[in-house]
Chains A and B, each alone.
Chain A
């Protein structure tokens, strides 16, 4: 049952509970929306001025231009650009929040935070041009935070994080094409300007503008990952649990949900201090923090906190009746949570002044009083626990093991155990000799239009048996965690012979006594730049650009505007990039062609839209082989 909604057994179990309760969930709301508007589906609806909305008839029978004369190509390109700008705004808002936190810390205004990784602070600061000599960590942090904040507004030079972390070849290309953004906010603002009524009408020029903004998105994401690692620690491999079975009947269960570690890391860090209070309230197992969505990834990889569930199934956590508080910051948080929580004791707690929700309890979280804020939140959860109705508790038993926290530093660290003088060599050797076909980065969301995790799990099996090394971020890594794929056992079960040999050798070198997990958990969705860091190191070592590497990306269940901006920069960086849902661009054959074909000539990267996960894996495998051939390596057969 519910196989059209999810293939995750714990989600399916809770969907049964939802049906009995008559709870309305995102899948029901999606069904009520059907059929969805074809103009929206094809990107042919424009609402950018008050003379609209205008719709272009994709069949050619009705109007072919909007009131202003914009064609289907213009309307579609403008709409896509705005989605890229929205995704960029979300990622860089997250990045800016971290930069402000670091600045407050350096100024002594956020005493509850610390520089957890001074080595990375100095490494990043030096790379970004901050002079280190004789300065304390605090001084360096102050200057780095200042440098980070200068990335946002209008600058006199291109954004620095992109300039310092990408290959020379990419930067030269972007420079020649006029695609280097001069400020993240500036790039977002430019997209909003050029897509408003009566500005840019050239579809190709519009798409290039979108790519420029997507490069700003890359910049903000790279910055966010660096600052998060400095403030909260570089993720190290950690064994954690996954699935809704991570909730405990005899504990105060608090889910942290959203994206930024600024809040969730503090809650995770302080929870043990209030364990006694929880026990006094009757929770014999104290406080149990679980993660949802990318906040889940942040606290899983840094604290080993279990990943309860992912974006599309967030409501199900409340239906267990055992969740005492759902603490959220921003992004991917369904406004429906408070409605679902109405039938339960669960407190939905919003924390960000810019992200509130009717029906929720708002605890305004400020970095200046972070620990007190976190304690207030935990105490609210303990209070809520006292009102828990035992009769309503239904916790699925499923609980998988997941190894998380495989940052770029971790990957290099493991490789260094094989060859300390030249860490990348073992990886390259195995790509050259064909043990590893290439690398695929899985990213992106769950999407209600696709049975939860179906595409992820189908594709991972298809690619692993073809010896493709898999990295994953965001809700992709959540999906793999919940299906037991982030384990040595999955490597034994699904990896092809070459991949299995490599992951086993590396696992032994790392002292695991078992293979590395089938999928390397590289972080949250904002951490896709960790995979880029590895790819850039390989490209620089080989002396080729990124568009020559056997590296591909896939967002097989993409849902959010953030996924569109990530996909766009992945293409611009030269990666063949698969998307498992049809983005709203097919109303323009020209835009569709530019994204799926012309982009290949311009950047080497291009979009592959394929809804069938088995065929998608075949297409990515073919793309990897094409790259292998280009490098003069033997193509892999299956």
Chain B
């Protein structure tokens, strides 16, 4: 199960991930043509700032996802193959309950369509567009276990060295 992980200390808040996300979820998939499309394409990843730090915020595709639990129309569901939390637009009625319950605030509203939009981990790509576009490699896409293992090793070497 691969997920997007963030190394916030590497983020420069250039917002390239936001643009790449909106481009990937457009028809033309081009920085020059996509911005003029209707309905307009929306990014599903965000860079926020708090206390002078730059923090990229992404859908965590939570195991016990509040958005899936709260969705009254059955639009939000878990993909059995990838474990990703996805939105079936044809079933979305635009009640925005998902927007209300998401602890990260990463479910957006496409108001021209009246549909919820969220990260789908770019199913057509080997690596999500945001990760592939990140110039500082603040974003990584890898197996959860691998990420945890690396974290443990980093911590261990810090303890050993310190």
A and B: bona fide binding partners? yes
Which B residues touch A38, using CB under 8 A?
16, 19-20, 23, 31
B32 touches A582 (CB 8 A): yes
Contact-residue bracket for chain B: 20 to 34
Q: Decide: A61 near B35, CB < 8 A? Known: A35-B16, A37-B14, A37-B16.
A: no
B38 to chain A, nearest CB (A): 11
A558 to chain B, nearest CB (A): 16
B68 to chain A, nearest CB (A): 24
Contact-residue bracket for chain A: 10 to 19
Residue of B15, B42, B108, B132 touching A39 (CB-CB under 8 A): B15
Distance between Cα atoms of A38 and B42 in the complex (Å): 15
Cβ proximity bits A51-67 to B, threshold 8 Å, 1 near / 0 not: 00001011111100000
By secondary structure, the A interface counts as loop
B18 touches A60 (CB 8 A): no
Q: Decide: A59 near B16, CB < 8 A? Known: A35-B135, A586-B32, A589-B36.
A: no
Q: Decide: A59 near B32, CB < 8 A? Known: A35-B133, A37-B16.
A: no
B42 to chain A, nearest CB (A): 6
B40 within 8 Å of A (CB atoms):
yes
A41 within 8 Å of B (CB atoms):
yes
Residue of A nearest to B47 (CB): A62
A586 touches B15 (CB 8 A): no
Distance between Cα atoms of A42 and B32 in the complex (Å): 7
Q: Decide: A59 near B43, CB < 8 A? Known: A35-B20, A586-B32, A586-B35.
A: yes
A587 within 8 Å of B (CB atoms):
yes
Residue of B15, B19, B43, B132 with highest tally of chain A CB at under 10 A: B19
Which A residues touch B23, using CB under 8 A?
38
B49 to chain A, nearest CB (A): 13
A59 touches B41 (CB 8 A): yes
A60 touches B40 (CB 8 A): yes
B4 within 8 Å of A (CB atoms):
no
B22 touches A61 (CB 8 A): yes
Residue of B22, B23, B31, B108 with highest tally of chain A CB at under 10 A: B31
Which B residues touch A60, using CB under 8 A?
35, 40
Which A residues touch B16, using CB under 8 A?
35, 37-38
Residue of A nearest to B42 (CB): A61
Residue of B nearest to A55 (CB): B15
Distance between Cα atoms of A587 and B22 in the complex (Å): 14
Distance between Cα atoms of A81 and B42 in the complex (Å): 30
A58 touches B35 (CB 8 A): yes
B31 touches A42 (CB 8 A): yes
Residue of A33, A37, A59, A582 touching B35 (CB-CB under 8 A): A59
Distance between Cα atoms of A33 and B35 in the complex (Å): 22
Distance between Cα atoms of A61 and B19 in the complex (Å): 10
Distance between Cα atoms of A586 and B41 in the complex (Å): 16
Residue of B nearest to A35 (CB): B133
B79 to chain A, nearest CB (A): 25
Cβ proximity bits B89-128 to A, threshold 8 Å, 1 near / 0 not: 0000000000000000000100000000000000000000
B18 to chain A, nearest CB (A): 7
Which A residues touch B15, using CB under 8 A?
39, 55, 62
Which B residues touch A61, using CB under 8 A?
18, 22, 40, 42-43, 108
Which residues of B in the span 9-28 have a Cβ within 8 Å of any Cβ on A?
Answer: 14-16, 18-20, 22-23
Pairs of residues from A and B, 3 with the lowest C-beta to C-beta distance, nearest first: A38-B19, A58-B35, A59-B22
Which residues of A come within 8 Å of B, CB atoms? 33, 35, 37-39, 41-42, 55, 57-62, 582, 586-587, 589
20 residue pairs A–B, Cβ–Cβ below 8 Å = A35-B20, A35-B132, A35-B133, A37-B14, A37-B16, A39-B19, A41-B31, A41-B32, A42-B32, A42-B35, A57-B18, A59-B19, A59-B35, A60-B40, A61-B22, A61-B43, A62-B15, A582-B32, A586-B31, A586-B32
